Structure 1
Amino acid sequence: MTISHRLLGIDEGRQQLSLIDTATDTFYWTLDLADFPLARDMQRLDAERVLVGCDRGFFELEIATGRVLASALRWAEVTGAHRRPDGSTLLTGFDLDGGGGVNVLTLGLDNRVTRVARRDGDYIRLMRPTASGTYLLCTNDHILETTPELVELRRFAAPGFEHAWQAERLPDGTTLVAAGYGAFMASFDAQGALVERFGAAADLPHEVNPFFYASFRHAANGNLVVANWQGHGPDNGQRGRQLLEFDAHRRLAGSWSAPGRISSLQGILLV
């Protein structure tokens, strides 16, 4: 079944960002990301704007038009950006301040660094703050939950995690993780125990071809929408279904692809 969402989608394979209506296969606009390489994650700021993290920092985008409104691009190996309620911005990445290891930088309203947190490590993808003030860091084969100073509190792991991409703390204390190359979703209870895996190849039609589960979002109907990245380069659109939707019972409710327009869907934001 085809799914119906209006979303921003990062096509990593072609380095493009588009506003898409999956119900009609409409691409309202497409932004070439040559000036904003390796954009990976997005955060809705308000009704009109979105924050996009990229390798060099971040930029703000007007959702309706794709127009870049502002940017801060003076780093390398940034993997995530997050705007806090007070207007400061958290940048996550590797060796962002020249001291080595994994960093989370805090930028003030003028985008100057006001705080540096560092821990040992050589791999990091997305970071998500939790409601309790901790950080969830995706560090390849496990997820670290840390203090804002990056002191480890606990870790979440499941067999098959490889380049785990995104972790999110839900209101009930559950932690949901996209397993990267493991190509499944994992759910951990409030005590950190693995309680559920879903979306694996054995549970899906062959044409879905789960390859790498990247960003995920919660739809208004309670379903979970997941980007099924298909590989680097511009010609992967025919390899599998690029966007998957799972219902409350963790069953596949539908999927979507646009193989002529998208190679490898990685970052998604429902708008």
Structure 2
Amino acid sequence: MKNTLTLILMLVIACCTALTAAPQRFLGVDESRGQLIYVDTADASKSWALSLPVKCRDIQLIGKQRVLLSGSNGYYEYDLATRSCVKTFSKPDYAGTMSVRRTPEGRTLIGCIQQGNTVIYELGANDELLRQALFSGRKSLRLMRVTRDDTLLFGGPDNTIVEADMSGVIRREIVIPGGRHVYQALRLPGGSTVVASGYGSAVIEFAADGKELRRFAASADDKARGVNTQFFAGMQILPDGTVVVCNWTGHRPEDSQKGPQLLQFDQDGKLVWTWHDSAFAGTLHGVIVLDHLNADVLCDDSNGVLAPR
């Protein structure tokens, strides 16, 4: 009986540890140094940094060990195994590209800021234009995400998130209290929306009616022990419900010295992990934690959690 209780206790401890496990392997979009980085926190000899032709913003695993990266006028595809560019798609029509997404059906969405408007283009498997949606006067986009209902979530005027569709209809806007240059939004299966608030330095979950449900941010105690946060950019919700978010601290290569580049919060909004290596990388715009993912399969976050499709 005693041995059984001991075994149960060990299993409980193991489960609790797993629930709050820190990321071990991840990709990062290094904005301030123009790099794609791979980090293995358990074995630094496996980590690498790859210079990119432009400062990319968005990233997605698209299968066959490839990632999709936003370019200035389209997108790039990089092979993670060979660390090489295997496709460049660039056309003046797609100038001002901010965000790119590949669908399970093989379509590509390109989100652009053009002449003070948000324009989203949908391309077929051969990069032929299928349709486009214009959102006049929407000067901010940052990251665009597709929901399970095929609506689009993207940044609106400074402190809002817009939900729209490819017919050009804006279905709703969510005002983000304290948000500025709101960066990314994800829709959860229950209908709530999780938002990285940019200079608001918080990730916030809102109910369908706009009520704030949870807030993930550095506490006063965190800040007192030197955790400096400035701008919450790309984020990922892990299967255990924790949130990993990029803490961008400036455009200069050395600006990553100012604070941790990545933060992880538990389901209650408590800071449980940070990653800070200013010698290895600059400030990050995007992250993909790879620990539970298969890079041979396309992954998306249409259900909130980044998962294979």
TM-score by length of 2: 0.81
Larger radius of gyration: 2
**Amino acid corresponding to residue 51 of structure 1 in structure 2:** L
Answer yes or no: is 1:254 the counterpart of 2:273: yes
The answer to whether the 8 A contact 2:37-2:281 is kept is no
The answer to whether the 8 A contact 1:102-1:118 is kept is yes
Query: C-alpha separation between the residues in 2 aligned to 1:114 and 1:147?
Result: 14
- SS of alignment partner, residue 131 of structure 2: strand
Runs (4 or more) in structure 1 with deviation over 4 Å come to: none
CA-to-aligned-CA distance 1:30-64 (integer Å, 9 cap, x gap):
2211x2x2311111112512211122211112223
Query: C-alpha separation between the residues in 1 aligned to 2:45 and 2:170?
Result: 44
Task: Name the counterpart of 1:64.
Answer: 81
Answer yes or no: is 1:28 the counterpart of 2:47: yes
Answer yes or no: is 1:93 the counterpart of 2:116: no
Q: Equivalent of 2:190, from 172, 181, 192?
A: 172
CA drift at 1:201? 5.2
Task: Name the counterpart of 2:167.
Answer: 149
Task: Name the counterpart of 1:162.
Answer: 180
Task: Name the counterpart of 1:106.
Answer: 122
**Amino acid corresponding to residue 124 of structure 2 in structure 1:** G
The answer to whether the 8 A contact 2:79-2:85 is kept is yes
Task: Name the counterpart of 1:131.
Answer: 148
CA drift at 1:219? 2.5
CA drift at 1:14? 0.7
Q: Which runs of 5+ in 2 are unaligned?
A: 1-19, 291-309
Query: C-alpha separation between the residues in 1 aligned to 2:122 and 2:23?
Result: 37
Query: C-alpha separation between the residues in 2 aligned to 1:177 and 1:203?
Result: 23
**Amino acid corresponding to residue 244 of structure 2 in structure 1:** V
**Amino acid corresponding to residue 163 of structure 1 in structure 2:** H
Answer yes or no: is 1:219 the counterpart of 2:223: no
Task: Name the counterpart of 1:118.
Answer: 134
Query: C-alpha separation between the residues in 2 aligned to 1:87 and 1:127?
Result: 17
**Number of residues paired by the alignment?**
266
Query: C-alpha separation between the residues in 2 aligned to 1:203 and 1:87?
Result: 46
Percent identity between matched residues is 35
Higher helix share: 2
Higher strand share: 1
Query: C-alpha separation between the residues in 2 aligned to 1:185 and 1:199?
Result: 7
- SS of alignment partner, residue 132 of structure 1: coil
Task: Name the counterpart of 2:263.
Answer: 244
TM-score by length of 1: 0.91
**Amino acid corresponding to residue 143 of structure 2 in structure 1:** L
- SS of alignment partner, residue 79 of structure 1: strand
The answer to whether the 8 A contact 1:2-1:23 is kept is no
Query: C-alpha separation between the residues in 2 aligned to 1:115 and 1:15?
Result: 31
CA-to-aligned-CA distance 1:140-170 (integer Å, 9 cap, x gap):
2100011222311111112211111110001
Q: Which runs of 5+ in 1 are unaligned?
A: none
CA-to-aligned-CA distance 1:122-151 (integer Å, 9 cap, x gap):
222111111111111112210001122231
Decide whether aligned partners of structure 1 residues 23 and 213 sit closer, same or farther in structure 2, where only a CA change above 3 A counts. Answer: farther
Decide whether aligned partners of structure 1 residues 27 and 9 sit closer, same or farther in structure 2, where only a CA change above 3 A counts. Answer: farther
Task: Name the counterpart of 2:8.
Answer: none
Answer yes or no: is 1:84 the counterpart of 2:98: no
| Root-mean-square deviation (Å) | 2.0
Query: C-alpha separation between the residues in 2 aligned to 1:100 and 1:138?
Result: 14
